[in-house]
Amino acid sequence: MGQKNILVLNSGSSSIKCALFQFASSPQIWSAPIWEKEVEWQNTKSAASIEAQIKTLLVNRSIDLIGHRVVHGGKSYVKTTRIDAKLKAHIRSLETLAPLHNKADLVGIDALARLYPQAPQFAVFDTAFHKTLPEAARVYPGPYQWYEEGIQRFGFHGISFQYCSRKAAEMLGVMPQKMVICHLGSGASLCALQNGVSIDTTMGFTPLEGVMMGTRSGTIDPGILLYLLQSCTPQQIAETLYHKSGLLGISGISSDMRDVLRCAQKADARAQLAIDMYVHRLSCAIGAMSASLQGLDSLVFTGGIGENAEQIRNKVCQKLAFLGISLPQNPQNPGDCILSRSQVQVLLIHTQEAFEIAKECWETFHAIH
């Protein structure tokens, strides 16, 4: 197939993660990038800003293919797709459903189109992995007309779930029949996988539903929104739910779990409440995902909090002992490992979304050529 240099761009709300992969043959389960960097947005989120940064970082490097993580693909795009004007318009149309990400994705796409006009660009959608959700999990219990108009549960973090499911199968020697993966970062969601296929997840129509997150509320009573609309604008409510809730909103300290844990150790009551709420809601969500699977044989922790917050993992496993989960071992600076070989095996996997995106680009490019 020939050697290809594949640049991966993940444009988030506050930073841009870049990685460069070189595939000379079909990629294996995991191949480290030959170069990677995370940079903060400079001044404004403009294409000129990202173009200047990438140009400086990738001096004299040839790029053959470019992959972008696109958070929301809607109903129309359920597989990796080459980017064209039609797709860009579609991504733009979904900005209100993923306001922290889709707009930033378009900025990165435009910047790299100018820097590398000959390199095909591909969108890899977080929502695509959940195309297998059964209707019972996909349809909201409002009027059925909502579903006919496109309001449904899409699910997110699919790139991470796809990677982690394959990695778990490699580590265990078999694909688990009933697995729950917890992607716990600044954004967080869970996925119930039956033989590696998504059958339920906690995020829905937008990345706001589900468990408590860094600055996002997760699931709340919709009646609260009706009440708030009496005194607040929709824009004010959106700002609160996306940017002023979650760990930050409850602790009043930080959206970073590390900061909240440190303050809780100093007897800060609101920091401790934030942790207790996080663990409570996460444990309940794992229970719900297990109910969808009618059992559980593997539990995976990934994402920044899932990979590094030993205290959170331990508290969750203690609460879920009734499912057959024993307290995991927590080695110092662990790589990918099996933390517990109890009735429910507990795994720690460092998600590799950039690699998964590069792999999808490689396979899609060669499928259409």
Q: Which positions are annotated as active-site residues?
A: 126
Between β-strands 337-341 and 197-201, what pairing exists: parallel, antiparallel or unpaired?
A: unpaired
Residue labelled with tokens 């053959």: 64
Exposed / middle / buried, residue 156 (Cβ in 10 Å: 0-12, 13-18, 19+): buried
Q: Which amino acid is at 200?
A: D
Closest to 190 (Cα-Cα) out of 220, 219, 215, 233: 219
Alpha-carbon gap, residue 217 to 207, rounded angstroms: 10
Buried-exposed string 330-339: b where 16+ CB fall within 10 A, e elsewhere: eeeeeebebb
Distance (Å, whole) CA 320 – CA 304: 21
As a whole number of angstroms, the distance between CA 361 and CA 363 comes to: 6
Burial category of 82 from C-beta neighbours within 10 Å (exposed 0-12, middle 13-18, buried 19 and up) = middle
Let me know the angle formed at the C-alpha of 170 by 166 and 176, rounded to the nearest 5 degrees: 70
Which secondary structure element, helix H or strand E, spans residue 299, and what is its range? strand 298-302
The structure tokens 């000379």 sit at 24
In eight-state DSSP terms, residue 129 is G
- Reduced to 3 states, what is the DSSP secondary structure of residue 18? strand
The one-character DSSP state at 333 is S
Q: How far lies 48's CA from each of 53, 55, 115, 199, 285, in Å?
A: 9, 10, 10, 41, 41
